[in-house]
């Protein structure tokens, strides 16, 4: 895709604002953590339960049935209360990394939805995908207005 200079400039401003801590990204794992999303990875969904259940089976063979039942209850509690948080954290980290890499990634994820950018100090100033225009948001809130050109004439 051929992106105009405006998108590259806005993306650079977005990246600098994120690194300076002026903006935050919000992600929706219901949209981004599914097949068809460029940042979807099946290990995030299926890996933790498989690892926890395999670990509980090791306990079954190494110790016994009672210890296995206790371990299985703990594994299910971990998956029930921590699985969603782990998935949201992984999707958020992967989305932010992809967004900051280049404007193409940002545009693809923006069209998909499930992404929002907001000013950290003014959270009501938010741009939500896919309805909002991230380039206009960057131009309005993150980029300095162009300096007036000094022609040497006084008015």
The verdict on residue 97 lying in a domain is: yes
Share of the chain above pLDDT 70, in %: 90
Q: How far is CA 49 from CA 19, 46, 60, 70, 123, in A?
A: 34, 6, 16, 16, 35
Arithmetic mean of pLDDT, 14-24: 90
Q: How far apart are CA 32 and CA 58, in angstroms?
A: 34
The verdict on residue 147 lying in a domain is: no
pLDDT for the residue numbered 52:
83
**What global pTM score does this model have?**
0.78
The verdict on residue 148 lying in a domain is: no
The verdict on residue 118 lying in a domain is: yes
pLDDT for the residue numbered 151:
64
Burial-class residue 149 by CB neighbours within 10 Å (0-12, 13-18, 19+): exposed
- Answer yes or no: are the C-beta atoms of 65 and 74 closer than 8 Å: no
The verdict on residue 153 lying in a domain is: no
- For 126, residues 6+ apart whose C-beta sits below 8 A from its C-beta are 26, 116, 117, 118, 119, 132
For the stretch 38-73, pLDDT in tens is 888 888 888 888 888 888 888 888 888 888 888 888
pLDDT for the residue numbered 83:
84
CB neighbour burial string for 94-130, b if at least 16 within 10 angstroms, e if fewer = bbbebbeeebebbbebbebbbbbbbbeeeeeeebbbe
Q: How far apart are CA 75 and CA 69, in angstroms?
A: 10
Arithmetic mean of pLDDT, 139-149: 72
Q: Which of 47-51, 106-110, 116-120 has the lowest mean pLDDT?
A: 47-51
Instruction: Please give the angle made by the CA atoms of 26, 134 and 126, to the nearest 5 degrees.
Output: 45
What token pair was written down for 8?
A: 């590259």
pLDDT for the residue numbered 139:
86
Q: What is the DSSP letter of 132?
A: S
The verdict on residue 149 lying in a domain is: no
For residue 133, the enclosing domain spans 5-142
The yes-or-no verdict on residue 109 having pLDDT over 70 is yes
pLDDT for the residue numbered 37:
84
Average pLDDT of every residue of the chain? 85
The verdict on residue 88 lying in a domain is: yes
Number of compact structural domains in the chain: 1
The yes-or-no verdict on residue 3 having pLDDT over 70 is no
The verdict on residue 66 lying in a domain is: yes
């Amino acid at each position: 895709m051929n992106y105009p200079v405006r998108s590259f400039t806005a993306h650079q401003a977005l990246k600098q604002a994120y690194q300076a801590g002026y903006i935050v990204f919000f992600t929706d794992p219901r949209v981004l953590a599914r097949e068809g999303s460029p940042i979807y990875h099946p290990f995030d969904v299926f890996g933790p339960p498989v690892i926890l259940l395999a670990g509980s089976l090791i306990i079954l063979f190494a110790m016994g049935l009672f210890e296995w039942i206790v371990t299985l209850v703990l594994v299910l509690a971990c998956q029930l209360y921590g699985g969603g948080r782990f998935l949201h954290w992984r999707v958020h980290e992967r989305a932010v990394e992809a967004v900051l890499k280049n404007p193409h990634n940002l545009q693809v994820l923006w069209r998909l939805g499930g992404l929002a950018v907001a000013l950290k100090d003014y959270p009501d100033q938010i741009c939500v995908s896919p309805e909002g225009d991230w380039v206009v948001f960057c131009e309005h809130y993150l980029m300095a207005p162009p300096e007036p050109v000094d022609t040497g004439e006084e008015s």
